[in-house]
Amino acid sequence: MISPVPSPPIPKGARPSLDGTTTSPLRMRARMILERGGVFWRVFRQSRLGVIGLLILLGFLVVALSAPALAAAGILRDPFLINEDSQGRILNYLGPTESFPLGTDQVGRDLLSRMWFGSQYTLLIGIIASVISMGLGTSVGLLAGYAGGWIDEVLMRVTDFFLVLPTLVLALILAVTLPPPGVVDLWKLIFVIGISLWASTARLVRSQVLTIKERQFVLRAQAIGAGHGRIIARHIFPNAFSLVFAEAILTIAVAILTESFLAFIGLAPADTITWGNILQAALAHDALEQGLVWWVVMPGLLIVGLVYGFTLLGYALDELFNPRLRRR
């Protein structure tokens, strides 16, 4: 009698499929992410404004990432280089020419190169400030909504204080008073903007948590003895993440506008190139009176275009993740 050949052992965590083969958990998760991504894209592409916003942002991202390569290839100039003619005279306050398509600034630096490189820091400030804002606001909202009681009351009163103050006024106060006083470097600027924008996120997350924590799957997790941290991390936060993500996209737009305002009034690092810095320099050195219109118009248009792209994408995601808005 021939003994049956033993089947190979199934790896730990793997699940047998219908054809008898096994699939690892990592492969299953990757397949699930791809399937969900495909479903999300099919729904998202039906929003014309959302697709337009995404294309605008991809365009700005390409500009920001291509700046070092274009400078290395000689297409863009060093944004800090003071350009001179063959006789050593500084080429400042030039209008658009073949060598300088957008002209030069008050010390002879190429404005096209400065605006091109400025997209890097403008995006960096907006994204990191939004991450700080989302992290603080989400943490406060999760704790307040889940804990309830006096913890909720205290945290919401603090949140109300930040909501009462206008964002620009709060950012201005923090930029001036936080140490070192009167000095604003890049990371202090990012921190100030992030701290100024978290309160509305905290309110949004708290309202979501108050609804989610009463659902059956959360009550069942509590019944089987799951800890508070596990319930928040595995059940509540994933179900609130979609709205937090949409809020984060909109917050980037507000952060960019806030940075432009602070740079416009001189509260921005002088060694950092942003569109707000370029616009402030143009107005400080009377660019319009000297006929250098592009020095003022171009950075303003770039700021508006980038903010518009984030706004369109943010509202499209908010409508996608919020069934009530989608039904409208």
Q: Looking at the domain assignment, is residue 164 inside a domain? A: yes
pLDDT by residue (tens digit) across 220-234?
Answer: 888 888 888 889 988
Inter-CA distances, 150 with 137, 142, 156, 184, 218, Å: 18, 14, 10, 37, 22
CATH at 136: 1.10.3720.10
Q: CA 271, 277, 279: angle at the middle one, nearest 5?
A: 155
Question: For residues 184 and 121, is the Cβ–Cβ distance under 8 A?
Answer: no
pTM: 0.86
Q: Looking at the domain assignment, is residue 143 inside a domain? A: yes
Cα 269 to its chain centre, rounded Å, is: 20
Residue 100 vs residue 269, higher pLDDT: 100
Q: How confident is the model at residue 20 (pLDDT cuts 50, 70, 90)?
A: low
pLDDT by residue (tens digit) across 142-172?
Answer: 999 999 899 999 999 999 999 988 888 888 8
- For the four alpha carbons of 177, 278, 66 and 246, in that order, the dihedral sign comes to positive
Q: Looking at the domain assignment, is residue 109 inside a domain? A: no
What is the pLDDT at residue 323?
58
Count of structural domains, the chain: 1
- For the four alpha carbons of 275, 317, 229 and 34, in that order, the dihedral sign comes to negative
Burial of residue 260 (CB within 10 Å: 0-12, 13-18, 19+) is buried
> Which residue segment(s) compose the domain that 62 sits in?
49-74+116-327
Residue 181 vs residue 71, higher pLDDT: 71
Q: How confident is the model at residue 21 (pLDDT cuts 50, 70, 90)?
A: low
Mean pLDDT in residue range 89-116: 92
Q: Looking at the domain assignment, is residue 140 inside a domain? A: yes
Q: Looking at the domain assignment, is residue 123 inside a domain? A: yes
Q: Looking at the domain assignment, is residue 266 inside a domain? A: yes
Q: What's the farthest any 2 CA atoms get from each other in the chain? A: 103
Q: CA 247, 250, 254: angle at the middle one, nearest 5?
A: 125
Looking at the DSSP bridge assignments, the partners of residue 90 are 84
Q: Looking at the domain assignment, is residue 60 inside a domain? A: yes
Q: Looking at the domain assignment, is residue 67 inside a domain? A: yes
pLDDT by residue (tens digit) across 41-89?
Answer: 888 888 888 999 999 999 999 999 999 999 999 899 999 999 998 888 9
Inter-CA distances, 11 with 26, 101, 106, Å: 12, 63, 68
Alpha-carbon radius of gyration of the chain: 26
For residues 168 and 21, give the distance between their C-alpha atoms in angstroms, rounded to a whole number: 60
Say how many C-beta atoms besides its own lie within 10 A of residue 253's C-beta. 21
